[in-house]
Amino acid sequence: MFIKENRIIDEQGRVLFLRGCNVAGSSKVPFTPHGETWRKDSLQNPESVSFVGRPFPLDTADEHLDQLASWGFNLIRFVITWEAIEHAGPGIYDEAYLAYVRKILKKCEDRGIWVYMDPHQDVWSRWTGGDGAPAWTLEKIGIRLDRIYKTGAALTHQEMGDPLPKMMWPTNYNRYAAATMFTLFFAGNAFAPACTIDGQSAQDWLQERYIAAFRHCYRRLKDCKAIIGWGAMNEPHQGFIGYRDLSGLENNSIALGPIPSAFQAMAAASGYSVEIPVYKTGIFGTRITGMHTLNNEGLSLFQEGFTCPWKTAGVWSDERGAPVLLKKDYFSSYQGRKVNFTEDFLKPFIKKFQERMREVNPEAFVFIEGIPNGDHPSWHKEDGPGAIHAFHWYDGATLFSKTFNPYVSVRADNRKIVFGKKAVLKSFIDQLSDDMEWAKEHMNNAPCLLGEFGLPFDLFNKRAYKTGNYTRHIQALDMYYTAIERLFLHATIWNYTPDNTHARGDGWNDEDLSIVGEGKPRAMQGWMRPFPRATAGIPELFSWDYRRKSCVFVYTSSSHEAGSTELFINDFHVGPNPNIEITVESLENQGREVQPGKDTLQYGWDRAKGIFYLVNPEKPSRIILRIQG
């Protein structure tokens, strides 16, 4: 597998289309003891947890992987966290977990399923309301784990209790713990040079431990041929970097509920009670609806002998007995100019990560992520080969409201309201197209993969779980996939969680986006779709109408010696006796219809595997395939 221009090509020279899913949502939390975020004790004893069994126990792996393969998925974005590898302490790797992962990936290899390894995090760690980093990363800069919630440094499901307000967890990016850790990780040398860990700068120490852990993991998996590449970090965040005014709210994905300004977060972490605004965001904008007291006990977040690194850096002071902001624009400039997080800090980290991983496999792809709905790093030829722009996109209005209306939407990029079904679909296509255009203009025309998109299945207060009617879910997914198909965009849906339940969703922060629930697939007509897996030529058009069971695929064939074109399609899509029409047009536009069973054009259908194949005619031609159920 290699990249040619902006396409992914197999060893036969065919254009590949990667379609798959993220496995799994529950891989964010330990398997033993059960680490689901609703469990109040799931943050205890962080050094002794185990992720063996994530995404699924080894004795059920064949069943799950066979199911994924039967749905046509040829790519898995495999969720793996830093905590899963190195939870017991710096340099102490969980070899049992790595051996388990190797067995899972070898099973993927047996089934011809490719794997994109995803070092996953959300808002830094489980102790800061998400997942990813081990607890000791926080302790190394002096943070007391037992005071993170009490000081307002993070909101956690474990301590807030049920129900967790809808999509509250992303607001942790604007709270002290996650924002501080991201700032130190990416730019500690620039903004907190006095903050050190074991005699090394916090940035260098944290990045070295992170990269070393995943490099060690890759060395253990180096014979797993299913792995085609690695991401460097899921949905990286800039923390405080880029704030123009630390007394306000910036760098936020959504203003929802009580959120401190950066300065208020710093003051609260150092033991001051502060009054912070409560926000509400709707289709008509954001407003403040009230006030909330943060850290009303006046506790310090820090262990004895430690202090806030931003206080040490002179960002703020309390010398006169009360916190005072001294440098409101401290994080806005770098080297005498306006700071650019993605170019100044994220890209150098990705390059460092990529170089170390290529020591294990020089042929591995690097899946590059920027800030969701934000800036992406540029990538040029001299930055290294094998780059894939692996951006994320969600229908934000549906994700945050947990409702779906095909006739009304709000764009995720500019938050403008869109009316009309055709206009809503066009807005989806335009948003995805904009990200692809970025890769063309700023990433050396790199291939694009939509690494995450998806749908909350608990729409309308879980109505479908009671009625069994998934019509709205199917409509939403069909529109997402139609946009993907129009653009020939590689994509992995979020997500497949085998232990999802209607009561507890994916087991993490009340999210419920798994395409299976209670062990059964949900809204399959929306996401289990035909697609061209491999094209011996250049794809021009693909469309699928699940209502009419109608598939159309148009491509220009390459040489006769190339491998066959393969379309994933089976009885679920078109039934056992579909009508098949194949038209061959010469490059001089002289068309003729191929009569199935009566023509020299070779084709066939392995119905068990769901693979319809066509062998190219002797001369390069334009092929039009129609399958009607």
Res. 340 pLDDT band, cuts 50 70 90: very high
Percent of the chain with pLDDT over 90: 90
Q: What pLDDT sits at residue 600?
A: 54
Q: What pLDDT sits at residue 146?
A: 98
Is residue 452 annotated as a catalytic residue, yes or no? yes
Q: Considering only the top CATH level, what class is 533-628?
A: mainly beta
Q: What pLDDT sits at residue 592?
A: 53
Res. 590 pLDDT band, cuts 50 70 90: low
Query: What is the average pLDDT score of the chain?
Result: 95
Amino acid at residue number 515:
I
**pLDDT tens digits for range 243-280:** 999 999 999 988 999 999 999 999 999 999 999 999 99
Is residue 235 annotated as a catalytic residue, yes or no? yes
Both structure tokens of 256: 């929802």
Res. 598 pLDDT band, cuts 50 70 90: very low
- Where in the chain are the domains? 20-241+336-527, 533-628
Q: Is the pLDDT of residue 611 over 60?
A: yes
DSSP assignments along 115-151, one per residue: EEEEE--BSSBGGGTSBSB-THHHHTTTB-GGGTTTT
Q: What pLDDT sits at residue 412?
A: 83
**pLDDT tens digits for range 202-252:** 999 999 999 999 999 999 999 999 999 999 999 999 999 999 999 999 999
**pLDDT tens digits for range 362-402:** 999 999 999 988 999 999 999 999 999 999 999 999 998 99
Q: What pLDDT sits at residue 326?
A: 98
Average pLDDT on 1-28 reads 96
Count of all residues that appear for the chain in the document: 629
**Positive/negative CA dihedral, 91, 97, 103, 108:** negative
**pLDDT tens digits for range 40-65:** 999 999 999 999 999 999 999 999 99
Bigger pLDDT: 546 or 559? Answer: 546
Q: Is the pLDDT of residue 74 over 90?
A: yes
Q: What pLDDT sits at residue 563?
A: 85
Amino acid at residue number 512:
D
Q: Considering only the top CATH level, what class is 20-241+336-527?
A: alpha beta
Both structure tokens of 564: 């066959």
Residues in contact with 113: Cβ distance below 8 Å, sequence separation at least 6, in sequence order: 20, 65, 68, 69, 73, 74, 75, 76, 226
Query: Catalytic one among 83, 86, 235, 485?
Result: 235
Q: What pLDDT sits at residue 282?
A: 77
**pLDDT tens digits for range 320-333:** 899 999 999 999 99
Q: What pLDDT sits at residue 621?
A: 87
Query: Catalytic one among 452, 485, 511, 566?
Result: 452
Q: What pLDDT sits at residue 414?
A: 84
Per DSSP, 277 falls in state E
Same fold, 20-241+336-527 and 533-628: no
Res. 281 pLDDT band, cuts 50 70 90: confident
